[in-house]
Structure 1
Amino acid sequence: MFDIAVIGGGASGMMAAIWAAESGAKVALIEKNQKLGKKLLITGKGRCNLTQENFTKDTLLDDLGRSGKFLFSALAKFGVEDTKEFFKAEGVNLKTERGGRVFPYSDSAEDILTALRKRLATNKVIVIRNNKIVSIQVKDNLIQSLSTKKGEILAKQFILCTGGKSYSGTGSTGDGYSWAEQFGHSVIEPEPALTPIRANDKWIEFVVGLTLKNVKLSVVQNNKVQDERFGDMLFTHIGVSGPIVLDMSKKVGELMKKKAKVHLSIDLKPTLTFDALDKRIQRDFQKYQNKQFKNSLEDLFPQRLIPVMIRLSKINMEKKVNKVTKEERQNLVKLTKNLIVSVTELVGFGQAIVTSGGIDLKEVDSQTTNSRKIKNLYLAGEVLDLDGPTGGYNLQICWSTGFLAGVSAAAAFKKEQGKEQED
């Protein structure tokens, strides 16, 4: 018999187990994989962007939209500075990079996982690996026990941290959603978020691997801009990826679900107006006036993008720059400010960084993460209908909700234990 059983050994589950045990409870952490934190090891391309300096209570609504309100308590009780102090206390040196992204100084996610495992051991958490839950027994709105392939597990309080469906190869298969529905919870349909986007433009195959820095990306439907982002993006063998594409993917998915025809528009020079860019190109053409058009663009575009821009501009590449007409030049300006990428679909859960959707937040107490359906159940991490942009936001959601679930479940256990002793 355990005081608290935590289901799922990812970021939120490990944090919940640590803080429940730190509060004095006897805790079991149940993980169906052979190893804890499988997904954690691949976050940030293995570097682990563990939090975001600019993620505060004041920015919640901007960062997460309406669902941000739910995180007020969790972030107030365990915020960015608490996360940094937690890992520093375990000997992990941290660094902050552009955009407020925080990484281990070693650039190794393994250091973050080692710190968590160390703290689990210090707090004597019983970790049961390679153990799949077969069913969960509920009676009178209370979880009674867990039936697992290694036998029955009994506890007084339970914390569900099974994650979403993103990076499904790591074991995130959405188990928690079906259990939550059995308990009477509503589940907002899970969708892949922070995912690459497939495109079918032939020219992309010539720029695979090219990163564009400091561009503006817009998602356009019926000639109206529905969303836009500034930053970096990457061309891949299937389409586009990179920070601003990943952040845009949720909106693209929402529009495509409505059967809307959408495309992406890249502004390669977002700091210049049409007229300012036209004047800039005129200066370049003056500088290279005796060269062919194909040799006049090296100051304007990355080398690998030049052949693509020449082809799409439909200007004869052999033409001398001083023979390029005003109309041709202004078409080049239009192309530079509006490079179209045709969207076919989102890549899906296999490569999605997080899941959008999950257990309806209206059915969870934001002060404690306690289920409003099951008295002795707490919920944390990606299983909830919470997701943020790239840059460390989503892991901070896991740390904050994991902490709150752990201390709240421990407090509930102690309260129940006190009542039993009085009786």
Structure 2
Amino acid sequence: MKCVIIGGGAAGMAAALFLVEAGAEVCVLEQNEKLGKKLFITGKGRCNFTNACDVDELFAHIVTNPRFLYSSFYGWDSNQTIDLFEKLGVRTKIERGNRAFPASDHSSDIIRALEKRLREKKVHICLRTKVSKLLTDAGADGKEKITGVLLSDGTAVSTDAVVLATGGLSYPSTGATGDGYHFAEETGHRIAPCRPALVPLVAAEAYIPRMQGLSLRNVTLRIPYEKKKEFKEFGELLFTHFGISGPLALSASSYIGSALEENQKKGGEGLSASLDLKPALTEKQLDDRLLREFGEAKNKEFKNVIPGLFPASLRPVMLELSGIPGEKPVREVTKEERKRFIALIKSFPFTITGTRSYNEAIITQGGVSVRDVNPSTMESRRVSGLFFAGEVLDLDGVTGGYNLQIAWATAHTAAEGILKK
């Protein structure tokens, strides 16, 4: 069987590997000058290639269409991904949150191991090769059937099956053009609206940039975004010159993206967000602590007592938002003022007005509608012989290796689907 893989990223290389190991003749068409260009920068160059959790945990960390991945995740779980790379000669390690990395902390080890095996198995790897169109014909049953692909130089390549593994729109510098969406749309597939995801968030308030560079650990971010829906998560957050970044902000972006778009369309001012700066303490415990601090420094001014509570760049902002004059002696701070200050600590307010662009997005949310794809085989329901894998599909998860696990698992399902045909 002849198979053409369009895209030499994580999903494309994995699909090629699974197919060639089973005896298929495989050709990978990659428009870049090398394979795995986006994979190279994944995890800041360290490549968090999966998450070593059980299958139920995998599903819990998928944001869009988790049920569609049932066959894929049970057919190829994270343990199998780790075993695969170990067998390919990549020593791996597990870090906090079950995140799996190459032991060297170099994403190039993952790419090199895959490419080495593909070349050993005589996979045809065509770099700097751009596809312009999928070629189809009406089958005996009247359904469209893949016959080949047309390259941008006019060359037609005949094939029995095509795996569309072109990725999304994030990090355009790596060659992400959205071509896969066009190929799918031209052959009758629906495309779920695309947006940047796992991306920093933009905030409205002028006091946010004043804290640029401040990283807060062990805080809780809360963003109500739809009727009875709320993003609420504990972790780490970074203030920037435009808003917030860091793990909490990135994860939040994947949940609130659609609601943010709707808010913008309606001319809204954004989504209200808040930070619990001391989630381990109740309001009563905080009040007791403040009273203790005040009692030990009765004659001190309020501005000179709060340094023990917050990092330096956060202090003037907290002072400003508290409404308590900094020069006020702590012995004169009223119970009501103290109560308002505690409320500020437990719910530090700001407004999310949008996300940053695809240039800063780790993944793309949206893509080829899973309603047009058979989840057991990854084959198109509209075009026989056309299969999908990875980010081109309307599937995504939070940070932690889950999106690459989607790539490996859907590539495996696509390869199995092709071999069954």
Specify the alignment match of 2:232 in structure 1: 228
- Report the secondary structure of 2:111's partner residue: helix
**Residues in 2 aligned to 1:381 and 1:222: alpha-carbon distance in whole angstroms:** 28
> 1:356-397 CA distances to partner (integer Å, 9 max, x unpaired)?
111111221111111111111111001111101111110100
Evaluate the alpha carbon distance shift between residue 66 and residue 358 of structure 1 in structure 2; reply closer, same or farther with a 3 A threshold.
closer
1:370 is matched with 379
Cα distance in 1 between the residues matched to 2:339 and 2:162: 64
Rate the CA distance shift 1:221–1:6 in 2: closer, same or farther, 3 A: closer
Secondary structure (helix, strand or coil) at the match of 1:91 reads coil
Partner residue of 1:146? 149
Question: Are 2:96 and 1:122 aligned?
Answer: no
Matches within 5 A, 1:343-362: 343-362=352-371
Alignment match of 1:194 (pick from 184, 195, 198)? 198
| Counterpart Cα distance in 1 of 2:310 and 2:18 | 51
- Please tell me whether the aligned partners of residues 4 and 410 of structure 1 are also in contact (alpha carbons under 8 angstroms): no
Which whole-Å deviations, capped at 9, do the CAs of 1:398-417 have from their partners, x for residues lacking one? 011112212332342xxxxx
SS in 1 for 2:325: coil
Task: Give the corresponding residue for 1:415.
Answer: none
Q: In the alignment, is residue 324 of structure 1 matched against residue 333 of structure 2? A: yes
Normalized against structure 1, the TM-score is what? 0.92
Is 1:276 the counterpart of 2:285? The answer is yes
Preserved CA contact (<8 Å) 2:278 2:346: yes
Superposed displacement of residue 226, structure 1 = 2.4
Write out aligned runs for 1:69-84 (5 A). Answer: 69-84=67-82
- Aligned residue number for residue 94 of structure 2: 96
What residue number does 1:417 align with?
none
Determine if the alignment matches structure 1 residue 31 to structure 2 residue 38: no
Paired letter, 2:91: N
**Preserved CA contact (<8 Å) 2:303 2:327:** yes
Q: In 2, distance between residues paired with 1:245 and 1:287?
A: 37
1:183 aligns with 2:192: no
Q: Residue 383 and residue 222 in structure 1: after superposition, are their counterparts in 2 closer, same or farther (change >3 A)?
A: closer
Counterpart amino acid of residue 210 in structure 1: L
Aligned: 1:166 with 2:175: no
Which of 400, 405, 419 lines up with 2:414 in the alignment?
Answer: 405
Deviations 1:320-371 (A, max 9, x none): 3333222222221111111112222111322111111111112211111111
Q: Which aligned pairs between 1:48-67 and structure 2 lie closer than 5 A?
A: 48-54=47-53, 56-64=54-62, 67=65
Q: Which amino acid aligns with 1:202?
A: A
Q: Distance in 1 between matches of 2:7 and 2:178?
A: 11
Partner of 1:46, secondary structure, is coil
Q: The residue matched to 1:230 in structure 2 has which SS?
A: strand
Task: Name the structure 2 match of 1:47.
Answer: 46
Structure 2: where are the runs of 5+ without partners? 139-143
SS in 2 for 1:365: coil
The aligned residue for residue 141 of structure 2 is none
SS at match of 1:188: strand
Aligned-pair CA distance for 1:263: 1.8
Aligned-residue offset at 1:61 = 4.5
Q: Which residue of 1 aligns with 2:210?
A: 206
CA distance in 1, matches of 2:6, 2:25: 14
Aligned pairs (5 A) from 1:222-261: 226-259=230-263, 261=270
Change (3 A) 1:73 1:275: same
Contact persistence 1:21–1:123 (CA under 8 A)? yes
**2: distance between equivalents of 1:222 and 1:30?**
42
Q: Residue 364 of structure 1 contacts residue 372 of structure 1 at CA under 8 Å; is this kept in 2?
A: yes
Which of 17-26 and 289-298 deviates more?
289-298
> Distance in 2 between the 1:222 and 1:23 partners?
47
C-alpha distance 229-117 of structure 1, shift in aligned 2 (>3 A): same
Alpha-carbon distance in structure 2 between the residues aligned to 1:271 and 1:249:
25
Kept in 1: contact 2:166–2:180 (CA 8 A):
yes
One-letter code of the match for 2:36?
A: G
Q: What's the C-alpha RMSD, in Å, of the aligned pairs?
A: 1.9
User: How many pairs align?
Assistant: 410
- 1:275-309 CA distance string (max 9 Å, x none): 22222222222334343322322332223312221
The CA deviation string for residues 19-50 of structure 1, in whole angstroms up to 9 with x for no partner, is: 11111111100011111111111111111111
Deviation at residue 60 of structure 1 after TM alignment: 4.8
- Contact 1:39–1:167, Cα closer than 8 Å, also in 2: yes
Q: CA 1:224–1:23 in 2, change beyond 3 Å: closer, same or farther?
A: closer
Kindly provide the amino acid, as one letter, of the partner of residue 51 in structure 1: T
- TM-score with structure 2 setting the length: 0.92
Moved more, 308-317 or 8-17: 308-317
Taking a change above 3 Å as real, the CA distance of residues 23 and 216 of structure 1, as seen in their structure-2 partners, is same
Amino acid at match of 1:69: R
- Same amino acid, percent of matched pairs: 42
* In structure 2, C-alpha distance between the alignment counterparts of 1:32 and 1:288, rounded to whole Å: 67
Which AA in structure 1 matches 2:220? K
Distance 1:30 1:270, change over 3 A: same
Q: Partners in 2 of 1:66 and 1:240 — Cα distance?
A: 23
Give the distance between the partners of 1:34 and 1:343, measured in 2 at CA: 38
Q: Which amino acid aligns with 2:184?
A: A
What do the CA deviations read for 1:25-81 (whole angstroms, capped 9, x no partner)?
111000111111111111111111111122x43235432257211111111221101
Query: Does the CA contact (< 8 Å) of 1:218 and 1:225 recur in 2?
Result: no
SS at structure 1 position matched to 2:62? helix
Gap runs ≥5 in structure 1: 413-423
Aligned residue identity for 1:403: H
Q: Is the 8 A contact 2:293 2:305 kept in 1?
A: yes
